[in-house]
Structure 1
């Protein structure tokens, strides 16, 4: 008898059919990968299983008993533990890591009235030990990186006794070493009989741990692949067409240098480096978590300062004291965690697709302070067509969109106005291969600016970049040129 059996599950949002009769089973001691393009229905399925929304029809059976969780608490009591891609609900600034780890126990009312800090630390430390992670228990949750918040979410889920563990893009913010540690934990849990439903766009993750892959498209199961998984066929089933390997189009080498860093140090203890990016060039910087990718982009965008060295934009000294000054100089940036840095909360003014695109341009578009929605809607409608954003209309809430379409909206924001330098921090995080191709085409279509991308995935770097650099210990260094890198930009210095 399977741990989880789903039969003919359906769910609609107005006229949109998100799930059109899903049938899935997961056996005890099995890791099943759930693959699907953005908008295929994966998130809807996870929300139903975790009790966030209800299904319109169909049945969910867990260990032989039919369940219909109405709340996340119902799902947890039934034996379903879910780790979502977004970590905003895991904790809040002002809480310690220990508090965030034990937050669910406080919410459930299972703790005594008086609780000692020593007892909390002991319980939290035991949870981290079980998960195989190490984090400072007294650190403010608000100061954690996206990867560290993800570790808190995973450790908390693993601490609950569950029959089914659902992981939604768990390695999107993790380094290679952290991912390997997580895989070791999941394989150990599988050996203990836990059923795991694993959602990821990273085929390397699935190849490492999945026993089977199920592909959904248009709210239906369109393929099932046993190990060894034929990922070429799985991807073809996922997007409904063959996806040939991307080869960046070779473009003429531009003569104009847009941005330079000279003798730059990101930290007082790091080594100096130079960086030069030309007009029309796309440069990717790769490195493990903590190597300095985000700090590099942050310094260029004025969110932090260089320890030493100089920057030039268009041949003139450039030293922004804030992101606002950077934007005014023609430097734009999409940060790593779009949910925290780029999207207004659901229900707030500015949470629509049109408002998301217009947000940093309000002073330029409406210098008199009076907001007229016509331009916002026109820009959003153009972005829907240009980037293939799957949205019902320009005024649709950005939170109603899939992760890949949310990321397209963030990219569209900086496509709406000319910029000299575009900075993208992990732009393909949680984005499926089809949406990734759309974003890459949009990035490479612009020859009037320079683009600097930070990514921890070398495969993504080779798909998008004319030139690739590595970063280690906060120091940039060139790497061997691969055949997929644009020959027109080979030989240029770091």
Structure 2
């Protein structure tokens, strides 16, 4: 990236005319973006809008093809994250586990940068480490349990560690990427206080989030990216219906623009089910030919609801009905036999087998849950498997060398299409899709959404953390949060972020 003194305002950080192409994809188009000292700027955009690329430019992880950048009015062109940190720009990522390492205390973690560059000196003692770490925490304006193992602290404390490390490196620009995604309401409120205090000290802060409640609390301005371009900017009072419309590029409705409203009887219905003790009851009816989406914060129970409908988890109260009859599946096998199919969130853990195993091909992966039904006598027929795979390749637009292609050779979007194909190979009555657009490019996302909407005789329930994704696929949208399930509105916001820790959940949490 070339640099020019006139690239920015007199202070803060700014980029002008930044463009970046990856192969045939133009990730950024002549983007102008700036943040002043003491300002919190919200950065919004759907998946694939260019947010990550812009952040990677700011932190030196990506070199743009065109454009200029400056910090405090001085030209700056960091060619690596280390150079960006030296210039005062630090990103606090959502995955805070990388802010330290198991086996290190919090105090040792706070001094990692000093150990790495030799500033700590040759001889150090536990007392000196603790003393220096306490000074760093005090600089950041909050207390930390300095003697605890980094592996034993939660995501909120890890974020505080990452912030303290950034301030000890003399950061002047902090970039927060979806920082409240895994925090409870109390933890999020604490983080907001910290961010506001940092802005009051004169730091320039970029806050990336889909959550309008966060931005209502923090942002002085909101900038919206779409298709790699800055398409809108907003100042308080911010119209968040307008920001969502800018994100998706069309007037906002509460569902897909071609939304349907089937009036037939419910195929699957829940009446007062509670996902855990003390949780609010959930009433939901799913009808054939209708796509229902549920959005909401991490930990609200979206995945747990789908696992309950699939028989993997039992509700603590309430009842379910399938085809107007009482229904309580004892296992996923019961659900599959009844025509209730679930494509879980983590496709690698729940769908794929090691690539060198017999089930590692596209055709074998699609056939795997249906082997007993397709081959009741135990004799596999490759022609049947290949036929199902060829049909999936044609109907879903899967880009693969053929039915025998290994899944690990496919892109993320094509892998997700294989997951969908698996559960459509035997026509379900109810199709449950947990975050089907996660790690999927825009083109594949459109293909998957179109395939789901073509299911006129199937009741589909989709979870999507990104409201824009829910709007793309659904006839009806609900928000699930600590207050329960309610219809989605353009300004609908989670009222609280509650977490729970069932056995076997990822990071101790199950969304």
- Please indicate the TM-score interval, normalised by the length of the shorter structure: 0.5 to 0.7
Q: Which residue of 2 aligns with 1:2?
A: 11
Q: Please state if 1:38 is matched with 2:47.
A: yes
Q: Which residue of 2 aligns with 1:319?
A: 330
CA distance 1:449–1:226, change in 2 (3 Å) = same
Q: Please state if 1:363 is matched with 2:368.
A: yes
* Contact 2:90/2:174 (<8 A) preserved: yes
- 3-state SS of the aligned residue for 1:251? coil
CA distance 1:228–1:311, change in 2 (3 Å) = closer
Distance 2:273 2:41 in 1: 46
Cα deviation code 1:318-360 (max 9, x no counterpart)? 211xx67755664444556x5986798xxx969xxxx999895
Distance 2:424 2:453 in 1: 12
Q: Which residue of 1 aligns with 2:376?
A: none
Q: Which residue of 2 aligns with 1:152?
A: 158
CA distance 1:460–1:219, change in 2 (3 Å) = closer
Distance 1:99 1:88 in 2: 16
- 1:57 aligned residue (53, 56, 66): 66
Distance 2:384 2:123 in 1: 51
- 3-state SS of the aligned residue for 2:457? coil
Distance 1:66 1:417 in 2: 60
CA distance 1:359–1:252, change in 2 (3 Å) = same
Cα deviation code 1:280-338 (max 9, x no counterpart)? 26666788765555444334445545567876656565211xx67755664444556x5
Moved more, 18-27 or 304-313: 304-313
Q: How far did 1:65 drift?
A: 3.8
- 1:257 aligned residue (252, 267, 271): 267
Q: Which residue of 1 aligns with 2:26?
A: 17
* Contact 1:175/1:288 (<8 A) preserved: no
Distance 1:233 1:461 in 2: 17
Cα deviation code 1:155-178 (max 9, x no counterpart)? 413541111111223334445554
* Contact 1:98/1:138 (<8 A) preserved: yes
- 1:47 aligned residue (53, 56, 65): 56
Q: How far did 1:256 drift?
A: 5.1
Q: Please state if 1:420 is matched with 2:429.
A: yes
* Contact 1:165/1:197 (<8 A) preserved: yes
Distance 2:394 2:219 in 1: 39
Q: How does 1:474-485 map to 2 (within 5 A)?
A: none
Q: How does 1:181-192 map to 2 (within 5 A)?
A: 181-192=190-201
Q: How far did 1:370 drift?
A: 9.9
CA distance 1:26–1:103, change in 2 (3 Å) = same
* Contact 1:260/1:313 (<8 A) preserved: no
- 3-state SS of the aligned residue for 1:160? helix
CA distance 1:225–1:132, change in 2 (3 Å) = same
CA distance 1:250–1:13, change in 2 (3 Å) = closer
Distance 2:265 2:490 in 1: 22
* Contact 2:225/2:232 (<8 A) preserved: yes
CA distance 1:384–1:164, change in 2 (3 Å) = farther
* Contact 1:420/1:450 (<8 A) preserved: yes
Query: What is the Cα-based RMSD across aligned positions, in Å?
Result: 5.7
* Contact 1:201/1:433 (<8 A) preserved: no
Q: How far did 1:419 drift?
A: 3.0
Larger radius of gyration: 2
Q: How far did 1:29 drift?
A: 0.9
* Contact 1:90/1:100 (<8 A) preserved: no
Moved more, 218-227 or 228-237: 228-237
The runs of 5 or more residues in structure 2 that have no matched partner are 1-9, 372-379, 399-406, 492-511
The total of aligned residue pairs comes to 452
Moved more, 325-334 or 458-467: 458-467
- 2:250 aligned residue (242, 249, 269): 242
Q: How far did 1:194 drift?
A: 0.8
